Amino acid sequence: MNRPSPPFRGAAHNARSLALQILLDCRKHDAFVQEILDRQFAATAGSRRPLAEADRRLVTQLVYGVLRRRGTLRALLEPLVNRPAHKVESWLWDALALGACQLALLTHIPAHAAVHETVELAVDFGRPGARGFLNGVLRQVAALVTDERMTTAAANALPLEHGAYRRLARPVLPDPATHPLEYVAAAFGLPDWLVRRWLPRYGVEECQRLGFWFAGPAPLMLRCNPLRIEREALLTALREAGHTAEAGEHSQALRLHDAGPIRDLPGYAKGWFSVQDESAMRVATALMPEPGESVLDLCAAPGGKTTHLAELMRNTGRILACDVEDRRLQTVNTLAQRLGLTIIETHRLQGEEAPPGLFDRVLVDVPCSNTGVLGKRPEARWRLRPDDLRHLVTLQTRLLRLAIKRVRPGGTIVYSTCSIEPEENRQVVEAVLRESPDLRLEADEEATPGQPADGGYWARLQRKSC
């Protein structure tokens, strides 16, 4: 059906209604889901009945759960829906997915509560006649899932997180022994075409491991700001506040095991830390900036790597942070201000030319497919299309060429992505090296998702001195 989504009539304090509204917004807008969540939470904070913190966590868990596992939930639901899929409205599919997510994937929610609260969404969204349909389908889902656990993949084994499977009352998923591609795609909620790319490269077992990694959020990593506090002191402060934390592999990294509101952590307002995955921390470190140097960050927003560069430079020198939108650059300024970093200037790019002048070092963290961070950016797996890679490679190549124009002789460039696709990574670098005799590859690194952080790639290029 192509009828427009019904207007939201629920109260702002209703967590499931807000989750459904955000899912509908994700269908209409091209923004990252976290941006939509932040806007909605900001809007509800000013209402007469703002969301409690527990409800905010539930909204986040539901939205990310549905987006990560939309394909999985659809595989469970479609056999239970007694009408053609195209005749079920989009909002109704999302409502069903919300209910199925609670019943099948979030084991702490009682089944009766998940069914009842989801059925009432029909009233909140002005479609009370859909209550019977929702109730009938979700009761079948409740009967399908069991409380038993399994240890291996099977047609009746539903992957949860961290390598666990939940037994289904009957086989619903493809048989992994005879149809491994179809099983990985359906069981872990990954696009068929992406699994088809990965299977020859990684094999079935590794694809399943990647599926588990992307099925949930990566561990929350904090990057200690050494200009404000030593890592051991920050660890002590977190533990004294009741948090379970440990040092990561990177010298500034801390892994937090009990994620709560970031702003409530010790030292947030004082700029003791920022949130950044450990694989992303390795990118700024790979550029090896020195205090007093001039650095160009060609694709800077939202500012995680830009501010890391400033920390490594001990807030001495100059960083020019560029992006294509003033709104995105504001996030760079906001983060730098909280961290107490004053050497960052922002510049909005216009057209295809970077700001004039030469820099000692250039970081070009290019737009990419996000296939290394599909747990963190779950909407990417459904927005990405096979043809997008070709267009992304064209853009990535252009940006790397632009970076080369802006690095001084003897200077350094780091090219990086949060992709695990060879075309976007080493192949882009090799193509540009073939046409740039004054460049050489010093080092590169591909981070595999889950070992120990998200996936991505960086390459450090050196321009020859005159």
Per-residue pLDDT of the chain (466 residues; tens, 9 = 90+): 445 555 544 444 489 999 999 999 988 877 788 888 888 888 887 776 778 888 999 999 999 999 999 999 999 999 999 988 888 999 999 999 999 999 999 988 999 999 999 999 999 999 999 999 999 999 999 999 999 999 999 999 999 988 999 999 999 999 999 999 999 999 999 999 999 999 999 999 999 999 999 998 888 999 999 999 999 999 999 999 999 999 999 999 999 987 678 989 999 999 999 999 999 999 999 999 999 999 999 999 999 999 999 999 999 999 999 999 899 999 999 999 999 999 999 999 987 777 889 999 999 999 999 999 999 999 899 889 999 999 999 999 999 999 999 999 999 999 999 999 999 999 999 999 999 999 999 999 999 999 989 999 999 999 998 7
Sign of CA dihedral 338, 325, 39, 392: negative
Query: CB under 8 Å to 260, separation ≥6 — which residues?
Result: 243
* Dihedral pair phi/psi, residue 319, rounded to 5°: -125, 125
Active site residue 207: no
Q: Name the one residue in this structure whose structure tokens are 């000013």.
A: 46
pLDDT for residue 193: 96
Residues in the chain: 466
Asked whether the beta carbons of 291 and 317 are under 8 A apart, the reply is yes
Strands 344-348 and 273-275: unpaired
Q: Is the peptide bond before 422 cis (omega within 30 degrees of 0)?
A: no
The sheet with strand 245-247 has its strands ordered as 245-247, 253-256, 220-224, 273-275
Q: How far apart are CA 346 and CA 326, in angstroms?
A: 9
CB contact burial 86-96 (16+ within 10 A = b; e otherwise): eebbbbbbbbb
SS3 state of residue 276: coil
Q: How far apart are CA 438 and CA 464, in angstroms?
A: 5
pLDDT for residue 6: 59
Asked whether the beta carbons of 254 and 221 are under 8 A apart, the reply is yes
- How many CB atoms lie under 10 A from the CB of residue 185? 24
Q: How far apart are CA 459 and CA 186, in angstroms?
A: 34
Query: CB under 8 Å to 290, separation ≥6 — which residues?
Result: 313, 317, 360
Asked whether the beta carbons of 429 and 400 are under 8 A apart, the reply is yes
**Residue 453 Cα distances to 197, 213, 282, 312, 417, angstroms:** 22, 9, 11, 21, 14
Give the tokens for residue 234.
């920050």
DSSP letter for each residue of 263-304: GGSTTTTTT-EEE--HHHHHHHHHH---TT-EEEETT-TT-H
Give the alpha-carbon dihedral of 334, 338, 344, 345, to 10 degrees. Answer: 30
Distance of CA 242 to the CA centre of its chain: 27
pLDDT for residue 13: 45
pLDDT for residue 5: 57
Domains of the chain with bracketed CATH: 15-214 (1.10.940.10), 220-275 (3.30.70.1170), 278-463 (3.40.50.150)
Kindly name the residue from 101, 207, 299, 418 that is annotated as catalytic.
418
Q: How far apart are CA 374 and CA 194, in angstroms?
A: 12
Q: How far apart are CA 147 and CA 162, in angstroms?
A: 17
pLDDT for residue 43: 82
